[in-house]
Amino acid sequence: MKTERYLRQILFQPIGHEGQERLGKALAVVVGCGAIGSTAASLLARAGIGYLRVIDRDILEESNLQRQELFDEEDLKEGLPKALTAEKKLQRVNSTVRIEGINADLNPGNAEILLKDAQVILDCTDNFETRLLINDYALKSQTPWIYSACLGSQALLMNILPGKSLCLRCLINSIPFPGTLPTCETAGILAPAAKVIASLQVTEALKILTGHQEALISGLLDIDLWKGTFQIMDTQTVRSLTCPACQKGEYEFLNAKSFSLTTTLCGSNAVQITPGGSSARNGSKIDLSALSQRLQSLPDITDVSQSPYLLKFSCRDKSLGARDTMSLNWVIFPDGRALLFGTKDPTLARTLYSQYIGI
């Protein structure tokens, strides 16, 4: 370990040499590399964590640049999946960290593989389905995880320590969850709110990884940057003694036989299609070159382009009422997952997926 590089952090007494050594051997997983996740991943890499796994399912869009600090205009031109761009950027920040950028949608078919060996999981996602999946995995594997969310100028954070604190299902089964209703498209996100909550989240992760659980924030932290308010809700009173996850050990999200195949992406006019769990589990890949050739021969398909990481093409929206000129834009990844831009209709997405991809 290079002491000089981390000197200011080592001089901070609660971390010291011992904490830095521990950090250098630790593995953290960041789920979601958006506004919160890209800042969190950057801070962890700079702090000198040993292993960092960053999981994200999206490709970069122009509207991401307002708040996602790992990405720039050059990355937008490259059009790679965010997880791969993040890996490249983070490796440039700190070449001594072992970084894995994983372009995948976390689901019950891959969660136990992708979250394996994490000493802490940072939830930087934007949806409760994935959070409840992380919650189940964390309880089953006794892994601490840190919930975070950001909407408008409000941001939330909560440490979840299996066996010690309440879990996410205790909370969302008992009280309406402030700031987390699916309105990100209308409320937007103030970038500094995401940065603040990412900084707090990484601070909590550093406490966990350097053996200072006694210093963790207890309860649900609720911040509003615009109003200038910081408050902590006591969550002990809402701990559920009948919680299926932490009290009964029923991991319904992790064990889901059929996780949703289509998801409308929050903040985008887009639908994600994930093929059934079996293909995700056995790691089978689509032959993108063969698919590309097949698509180019179809009359309704235009703008086919391919790289080792993804295949892009456009097709005409043939749904009822759609204008003739309107086209839908596809991105297909080697694991069969697809993003369809230009619609929020999951049925249309499934129909077109089976028509063009044929799985």
- Minimum separation from the CB atom of position 42 to Zn ion (A): 31
- The closest of 8, 85, 100 to 46, measured between CA atoms, is 8
- How far is the C-alpha of 346 from the C-alpha of 260, rounded, in Å? 11
Of the pair 83, 246, the CB lying nearest Zn ion is at: 246
How many Cα atoms sit within 13 Å of 169 on the Cβ side?
A: 24
One of 33, 184, 243, 315 is an active-site residue; which one? 184
Residue 184 annotated among the catalytic residues of the structure: yes
- Minimum separation from the CB atom of position 130 to Zn ion (A): 17
Of the pair 88, 239, the CB lying nearest Zn ion is at: 239
Q: Give contact residues for Zn ion (rule: CB under 5 A).
A: 167, 169-170, 243, 245-246
DSSP at 152: B
- Minimum separation from the CB atom of position 173 to Zn ion (A): 8
- Which sign, positive or negative, has the C-alpha torsion 246, 124, 104, 265? positive
Which residues 6+ apart lie within 8 Å of 351 measured at CB? none
Length of the chain measured in residues: 359
Q: Which residues pair with 271 in a beta bridge?
A: 264, 340
- Minimum separation from the CB atom of position 239 to Zn ion (A): 7
Give the residue carrying structure tokens 């930087």: 124
Determine the 3-state secondary structure of 164 from DSSP: coil
CB burial of residue 166 (10 Å; 0-12, 13-18, 19+): buried
Of the pair 91, 173, the CB lying nearest Zn ion is at: 173
Of the pair 84, 245, the CB lying nearest Zn ion is at: 245
- Minimum separation from the CB atom of position 307 to Zn ion (A): 43
Of the pair 25, 164, the CB lying nearest Zn ion is at: 164
Of the pair 35, 139, the CB lying nearest Zn ion is at: 139
- Minimum separation from the CB atom of position 175 to Zn ion (A): 13
CB burial of residue 62 (10 Å; 0-12, 13-18, 19+): exposed
Whole-angstrom CA distances from 34 to 65, 185, 244, 298 are 10, 15, 30, 35
Chain mean position to CA 292: 28
Query: For residues 158 and 145, is the Cβ–Cβ distance under 8 A?
Result: no
Give the active site residues: 184
